[in-house]
Amino acid sequence: EVQLVESGGGLVQTGGSLRLSCTASGFSFSDYYMNWVRQAPGKGLEWVSFIATSSATIHYADSVKGRFSISRDNAKNSLYLEMDSLRDEDTAVYYCARQAAHGNIDYWGQGTLVTVSS
Amino acid sequence: EIVLTQSPGTLSLSPGERATLSCRASQSVSSSYLAWYQQKPGQAPRLLIYGASSRATGIPDRFSGSGSGTDFTLTINRLEPEDFAVYYCQQYGGSPLFTFGPGTKVDIK
């Protein structure tokens, strides 16, 4: 069974930093592109970042470029999101998401809530 | 930048009725890279349709997708009580890499 389990969310002050982790199981993690997608309270889905299998290709949404950093450790079946200079508008549930061949997300984690407040 | 627009914003229907949800892109999207998701309160999204018209594993055949270019449709035949939820379309490969539509809420009339 495919499982994605996020951790690391919490309350952080405006301007602060946080590191999210996602542990994958039930599939060959190193074979899949991975993403982070977020959802602000009561709002829609927003793609945040993409990382290819070998980490050679990385993309970010303009809203987080220069502040967030995605990485992965295939030996540990883990995906990370380092978030710096956090803003109030970064408050959201952050989902770890596995990308399938057609560019869709076929598995999602349960999400971890990040609350940014002064 | 590819922008996805979904209509209507809210669809009020009764169980047993058909729901027709629209997703329009600001520029042409490859059909291979258009997907639909269902999300219920407090849950992660669930993949329904990928490649514009292929049902994901375990998705009932009352869900169907169609369309090409800039206009895509998700149809739900004979709404079941568990189908009342928010539905999002999503494209991949443009700029930005992923784009989600704002969602259509299907609620009980």
Residue A40: which pLDDT band, with cuts at 50, 70 and 90? very high
Residue A41: which pLDDT band, with cuts at 50, 70 and 90? very high
Q: How far apart are the two ends of chain B, measured CA to CA in Å?
A: 36
pLDDT digits (tens, 9 = 90+) for A1-12: 999 999 999 999
Chain A positions touching B100 (Cβ under 8 A) are 44-47
CA atoms of B46 and A45, how far apart (whole Å) = 12
**Per the CB < 8 Å rule, is B93 touching A103?**
yes
CA atoms of B70 and A92, how far apart (whole Å) = 29
Based on C-alpha coordinates, what's the Rg of chain B? 13
User: Among candidates A107, A110, A91, which has minimal Cα distance to A99?
Assistant: A107
pLDDT given at position B94: 81
Chain A positions touching B9 (Cβ under 8 A) are none
- A21 forms beta bridges with A7, A80
CA atoms of B38 and B32, how far apart (whole Å) = 19
When CB atoms are compared, the residue of A47, A102, A109 closest to B96 is A47
pLDDT given at position A84: 98
Query: At which residue do the structure tokens 């309270």 appear?
Result: A41
Give chain B's contact residues with A (Cβ, < 8 Å). 32-33, 35, 37, 39, 44-47, 50-51, 54, 56, 88, 90-93, 96-103
pLDDT given at position A75: 98
Chain A positions touching B54 (Cβ under 8 A) are 102
pLDDT digits (tens, 9 = 90+) for A65-108: 999 999 999 999 999 999 999 999 999 999 999 999 888 999 99
Size of interface A-B (CB pairs under 8 A): 65
Helix/strand/coil for A64:
coil
pLDDT (tens digit, 0 to 9) for every residue of chain B, 109 residues total?
A: 899 999 999 999 999 999 999 999 999 998 889 999 999 999 999 999 999 999 999 999 999 999 999 999 999 999 999 999 999 999 998 878 899 999 999 999 8
pLDDT given at position A8: 97
